[in-house]
Structure 1
Amino acid sequence: MKYAWIIVLLLIAGLFIGPLWDGNTGYVLIAVGNYTIETSLVAAVILLVLAVLVLRVIWSFIMRLVRGTAWGMRWFGQRRTSKAQQAVTDGAKALVHGDPRSASSAFNRSWQLRHDGTVALFASYAAAANEDYAQAREWLQHAPNPTELQLAETLFTLQQHPEQAEQRLSELQELRRQHPQHPQLLRLALQAYEHVHRWDEVLVALPDAQRLAVLSATALSELKERAYRERFLAVGREGPPALAAFWKSLARDERRSASIRQAYIGVLKTYQLLDAADKVAARGLKRGDLKLAQLLDKQLLVPGVELRDYLQGQLKQHPEDGLLLQAMGQIAMATNEWSLAERALRRASELVPSRRVWLDLAQVYTAQGNSQAALAAYEKAELGTN
């Protein structure tokens, strides 16, 4: 601070000494009506500075008096509140438009005008969106609710260090009981459950995940299928009767779910319960619970009587349906009917070319000993073209 004063004093001294040394101090002439005032340039500058300082002191005194009145306090308070609210609005708009940096700046302005715990939570969220977790935690110290502080701290930590989810699993479960409607917390919990293979917890959380839309429809469907597959595998270790009993114990809506039914068919195939897999797949297709394209892609078709009859009946009505031809080709592969499989898959590759069709056809050509055609099919599968 003393160095600043030294610099100011040197500047003032320069204003006086410089012109005197040069012998030309300059002058300022002020004329008002018949009156004139003539003074040196240095003196005019000093007087101007003094005038500004005096005016500032007078203005500060007046403002202090105004603020001391009930009217002044109310007017200035409303003005600060209005500015603070406008800053919060600006911050919220910035968050909606995906600009967390501008949002963070706006929430900081609002906090300077009015210390509101809700603004601190918004500012913490914006800082976390900027991946500035130190700043986010600092804002959390002003949170109005200690429970919210713990929740946000856990969320920030797991966002920054997802590998810690396993060690903090009990904490996650407790927070889930306290905040069952929190989508971000549920998303992190699902990731943790899946990472440590806690499939029962995943199954319990799936209805909330669907209701809160924490995952896309595709991601939710895949997670449901994985979770039920693991559950069916665990039950199936007790034997086929236990697996069948568990399937029948599910609610009707659950058995009609495509994800759950596909998981069940996959496990039936794993345990070589092909007759049961045949019935579940065929009846799912007949009722519209399953899509043939999904069964083809996941290779869930089995060479059962009921499924084969269904596909043949459909082919009589739609002989040029590429998916039906592909399905018949896969079933023929399962029974080593290579000639039938080749004809069906080759026609399917013309009607509905896909990577799965070309891979199946390459497998057929390999079984037939046609290595050149198999290589060409593999190349088309890699290119994804026909």
Structure 2
Amino acid sequence: MFRILIIFLVLVGGFFLGPLLQGHQGSAIFVVANYRISMSFNSFVILLTFGLLCLYIIYWLFKKIFNSKTALGNWLRSKSPRKAIKRIEQAQFSLLEGDYQQASKLFMKSAKGANNITLSYLLAAQAQIDNDQLIPANQSLEQAAKTCQPKEKFAFQLVQIRLQIKNHEYDAAKVVIENLLNEKPRNPEVLRLADQIYYEMGDYQAVIDLMPSMYKAKAYSESQLEQFKQAAYIGRIKQLSTDEDPLALIKWWRSQPKVILNNLAYQKAMANYLKQLGQTAEAEKLLVTIDKIESKQKD
């Protein structure tokens, strides 16, 4: 904009100084409704420049008013905070009714007059994610990013991670979630998303390491946590059974706490995979322990 102004001033200066230096200012004649108006060319250039300056000032003032968050600014932009609030309420009802498509449309429309544009776009993105509309969700997220404030960044990142999970972009999601785990290690939603990402990536050891925090934060019910824990441990046992080092599974097993070592389900899984690895001696030891535990349970 500044460069355009300089070019304009140079051109005007050329028109103005050229005739003046030649000693002849020239003339400009206008005929308007049978009226003849004549003036020197320099006077015409001065009036033209002044007129353009006035137009620019008027444009600048209207732009300021148009972009302001005042009642007049909202009216000029056909934005109404009341309409936005109504649309958000309707969108929330649509969400409760399971109409995610309608909810996302209303959230998008509410952004035009909403007090918090970022929130409207994030809600639209979340509704679109829930409805598997991944391309529109990405577009809504891009819109939210334009107005996102530092205090809104956490909510933005959570929606971003959910979209990345839906898109199977687990590596990108892992980078974001691990930063959040450092910032908010006890946040239940962060822990739930981290658990989902690690499980999808087959990183069972990371899921196991996450378990103590998930129990403390009560990220899921006790029964669900027990199921997830068992799935993670058995998945890790199976994973280590395919390791190039045949002793990797035994080393890992011996490093586990007593609670895990005494768990019947894990013992059975270990015995099964140890047999497959040809570690029959270790497998037999576990089978003896399993028989003792089962006989005690029968008594």
Which one scores higher on RCO, CA 8 angstroms, separation ≥ 6? 2
Kindly provide the amino acid, as one letter, of the partner of residue 255 in structure 1: L
Q: Counterparts of 1:101 and 1:94 in 2: how far apart (Å)? A: 9
What is the distance in 2 between the residues matched to 1:255 and 1:184? 26
Are 1:222 and 2:222 an aligned pair?
A: no
Letter in 1 for 2:121: A
The CA distance in 2 between the partners of 1:221 and 1:91, in whole Å, is 40
Measure the CA separation in 1 of the matches of 2:93 and 2:264: 40
d(CA) in 2 for partners of 1:276, 1:110: 66
The aligned amino acid for 1:275 is E
Structure 1 CA distance for aligned equivalents of residues 233 and 273 of structure 2? 14
Aligned with 1:115: secondary structure?
coil
In structure 2, what is the Cα distance between the partners aligned to 1:140 and 1:286?
61
**CA–CA separation in structure 2 for the residues paired with 1:169 and 1:188:** 10
Partner of 1:111: 111
Residue identity opposite 1:111 in structure 2? A
Q: Deviations over 1:304-345 (max 9, x none)?
A: xxxxxxxxxx6xx9xxxxxxxxxxxxxxxxxxxxxxxxxxxx
1:310-349 to 2 correspondence within 5 Å?
none
CA 1:171–1:118: 2 relative to 1, 3 Å: closer
Query: 2:112 & 2:106 partners in 1: Cα distance?
Result: 10
Match of 1:189 in 2: 197
| Coordinate RMSD, CA, aligned | 4.2
Question: Using a 3 Å threshold, how does the CA distance of structure 1 residues 189 and 108 change in structure 2: closer, same or farther?
Answer: same
User: Could you tell which deviates more after superposition, 251-260 or 127-136?
Assistant: 251-260
In our comparison, the structure showing a higher alpha carbon Rg is 1
Letter in structure 2 aligned against 1:102: Q
- Name the structure 2 match of 1:126: 127
Cα offsets for 1:38-69 (capped at 9, x unmatched): xxxxxxxxxxxxxxxxxxxxxxxxxxxxx79x
1:276 CA drift (Å): 1.0
Gaps of 5+ in 2: 1-70, 73-79
Does residue 163 of structure 2 align to residue 176 of structure 1?
A: no
CA distance in 2, matches of 1:134, 1:168: 14
What is the deviation of 1:226? 0.9
Q: TM-score, normalised by structure 1?
A: 0.42
Contact 2:268 2:287 in 1 (8 A): no
Decide whether aligned partners of structure 1 residues 192 and 175 sit closer, same or farther in structure 2, where only a CA change above 3 A counts: farther
Q: How many residue pairs get matched?
A: 207
256 and 143 in structure 1: CA distance in 2 versus 1, 3 angstrom threshold: farther
Identical pairs, percent: 13
Q: 1:174 and 1:186 mapped to 2: Cα distance? A: 11
Find the aligned partners of 1:147 and 1:276 in 2 and give their Cα distance: 50
CA contact (8 A) 1:91 1:107 kept: yes
